[in-house]
Structure 1
Amino acid sequence: MADIDALDLNLLKSLRALLDTRSVSRAAEAIGVSQPAMSAALRRLRAALGDELLLRQGHQMIPTAYAESLVEPLTDALGQLEVALFQRAGFDASSWATTLFILTTDDVIEVLGGPLHDALAELAPGVTLAFRTLTSDYGKGQLQRGDAHLAITVDWTAPPELKRVRLYDDRFVSLVRADHRFARRRPSRAAFARAEHLLVAPLGGTWGPVDDALADDGLGRAIRAVVPTFSSAPGYLVRSELVCTLPRHFARAVAGVHGLKLFETPVALAPLRYDLFWHPRFDRDPGHVWLRGLLREVADATLEV
């Protein structure tokens, strides 16, 4: 039987770190204690809860069924406690000392990373800004656990349980090298379809919105290369005849640097709406509320469609 009186807040934080990382050393690093201290915490947790919690299997540690059952309620309980304490103490961004983890794609980093860094340096100088690569599940697990604060992307297939709000609007344009024939004269839809294309697919796949739009007109295109990052595109374009269709804000940011030319894509494409995503358990967290507001202010001040 679990001995609740033997548990304290630091032990519960250690338990969450152990279950998140499944490693004594990584858990110790995550909450800033020594490895012997985390090993001692694991021994106390095993004694208090009457369960091994983590079992060694080869070079890995795997959670017991009981430990697995604790992950969600423990995460929720600690999150609610942190929010309650944070709200009671009030929120002062100027004294906030933390690392903000934002999941996104590199086009967003290109257009908003610098302005957001500048705003944080002025308003919250103790904050470190850390971008991470967005995963195909929109980082749902990381957002729920609090391992990441926010995700920024277009809502293609976002999990419905995540909360969201509009951050900024964008639209597609096409990009080619400066001496490409399309740089001199905008192509027809048919000529655009006959050209060879580069596809950026940050979440995987070999098909995009352009292909859907062309298919509606009974057309197809030849995709000769697929890259996982937007920043890979300019290097391809400057040494080839490829055409790449990209979000306009990113395309404008890189075109001049790489000697590329934009043209209006001759295909009807739906506008892009970039949203902020977060887990509902952090909806009223004062730090989250402040950060979401700051990001929207930065986007409004930086970007125009």
Structure 2
Amino acid sequence: MEAKDPAETARLHGLDISHVHALHALLSERSVTGAAQRLGRTQPTLSAALARLRRHFSDELLTRAGNHYQLTPFAEQLRPLAALAVSAVERVFAAEAEFDPATSERVFSIVSSDYGISVVGAALVARLQQRAPGTCVRFEPVTPESLSRNPDFYRTLDGVLMPHGYIDLPRQIDLYHDRWVCVVAADNPLVGDRLTMQDLNTLSWVTTFHDPLGRAPAWRQMELLGVTPRVCGIVDSFLAMPQLARAGQCIALVQNRLVAPIADSLGVRVLECPFDAVPLVEAFWWHPMYDGDSGHRWFRETLREVAREVAHST
């Protein structure tokens, strides 16, 4: 069989790499205007790209619903594939045969909650500035997709900063230990000096992530012990939880390293859990495809070093 001309293959029936970026932006922003702003192009250019993509896929991709657009079912299927394709293209052209921290301009991408960023983020950025001033670390939020355990997703980023119990990738390094504690308003009249299991059933709760898979292992442990938390607020931010707990006279389960340094300024009390909460071990997880990547290896060793220093300083 005659081999295909690589140039012909790259054209993809009239499409090129710019259409891959356009597709990703359109499906992410769900808007021609937003996609144009994201890519730094004009709206007519993105409108033309959308028309070309619609013809190629024989699907509308974006359909109007009131004053906004929504993805078609087919576009929903394409969205993670487009993200993977853009990431792959960017990584191909950003690849370095030998990583030199002094000259590299690599962007390292990490999925992390605000807890992970709060504990090691500042120290990590400072260390990169010292040793690899041309590099950058991009922190991306935790999403249902990042908890899906889909191996294709983890190919699109350098790793995930998350405790054990949420995901399970073949590669990980443990960074530091922490413990789960409860916080209530400093002046909450319903709580004494110590929490009881009855308190956990009586008080209203603030928690993170609507999806039960995103809940803390200690939360799931609490439910197994017979506690049925009455949730009054859900927020995808650990930093916001103490403030919501204070304002609503509620209770929240948070990490000690996050809340202990700022408890007084937030007007909350930090109390021990009335059950033997499972320990928290923060780790960095990555896909095995990065095992031989010299830049990735340098980055994760730098992260391990920073985390060790942070753990010993507190």
Query: TM-score when scaled to structure 1?
Result: 0.71
Q: Give the number of aligned pairs.
A: 285
Matched residue, 1:120: 128
Deviation at 1:230, TM superposition (A): 0.9
1: distance between equivalents of 2:88 and 2:109? 21
- RMSD after superposition: 4.4
Partner of 1:46: none
How many angstroms apart in 1 are the aligned matches of 2:20 and 2:116? Answer: 31
Distance change in 2, residues 1:99/1:157 (3 Å): same
Q: Which residue of 2 aligns with 1:155?
A: 164
**Residue in structure 1 matching 2:143, options 121, 135, 155:** 135
Matches within 5 A, 1:84-123: 86-87=96-97, 90-123=98-131
Equivalent of 1:193 in 171, 192, 200: 200
Paired amino acid for 2:207: V
1:70-111 CA deviation, whole Å, 9 max, x = no partner?
98998999799779x733xx2211211133221111111111
Of 254, 268, 280, which residue of structure 2 is paired with 1:260?
Answer: 268
Structure 1 residues 58, 137: CA separation in 2 closer, same or farther (over 3 Å shift)?
closer
In structure 2, what is the Cα distance between the partners aligned to 1:203 and 1:284? 37
1:213 is displaced (CA, Å) by 3.4
Residue 112 of structure 1, CA deviation: 1.4
**Structure 1: gaps of 5 or more residues:** 39-51
Aligned to 1:293: 301
Question: Is the contact between residue 174 and residue 243 of structure 1 (CA under 8 Å) also seen in structure 2?
Answer: yes
Asked if structure 1 preserves the Cα contact closer than 8 Å seen for 2:110 and 2:158, the reply is yes
Q: Choose from 154, 179, 182 the match for 1:174.
A: 182
| Aligned amino acid, residue 96 of structure 2 | F
Which of 55, 60, 65 is residue 57 of structure 1 equivalent to? 60
Matched, 1:284 2:287: no
- For structure 2, the 5+ residue unaligned runs are 47-54, 64-70
Task: Give the aligned residue type for 1:238.
Answer: R
Q: Return the alpha-carbon distance in structure 2 between the equivalents of residues 116 and 182 of structure 1.
A: 40
- How far the C-alpha of 1:238 sits from its partner, in A, is 2.8
One-letter amino acid of the counterpart of residue 149, structure 1: D
**Amino acid corresponding to residue 60 of structure 2 in structure 1:** Q
Could you tell me how far apart the structure 1 residues matched to 2:5 and 2:26 are?
23
Percent identity between the aligned chains? 21
Alpha carbons of structure 1 residues 14 and 167: separation in structure 2 relative to 1, 3 Å: farther
> Structure 1 124/34 Cα, relative in aligned 2: closer, same or farther at 3 Å?
farther
Partner Cα separation in structure 2 for residue 248 and residue 162 of structure 1:
28
SS at match of 1:103: strand
Query: Structure 1: how far apart are the matches of 2:136 and 2:124?
Result: 11
Q: What aligned pairs does 1:202-217 form with structure 2 within 5 A after superposition?
A: 202=209, 204-205=211-212, 209-217=217-225
Deviations 1:244-293 (A, max 9, x none): 11111112243233132212111111111222122222221111111111
Aligned residue identity for 1:57: E
Deviations along 1:165-223, one digit per CA (max 9) or x if unpaired, are: 22222210111222235876112333x32441433223633965455434444443433
Matched residue, 1:3: 5
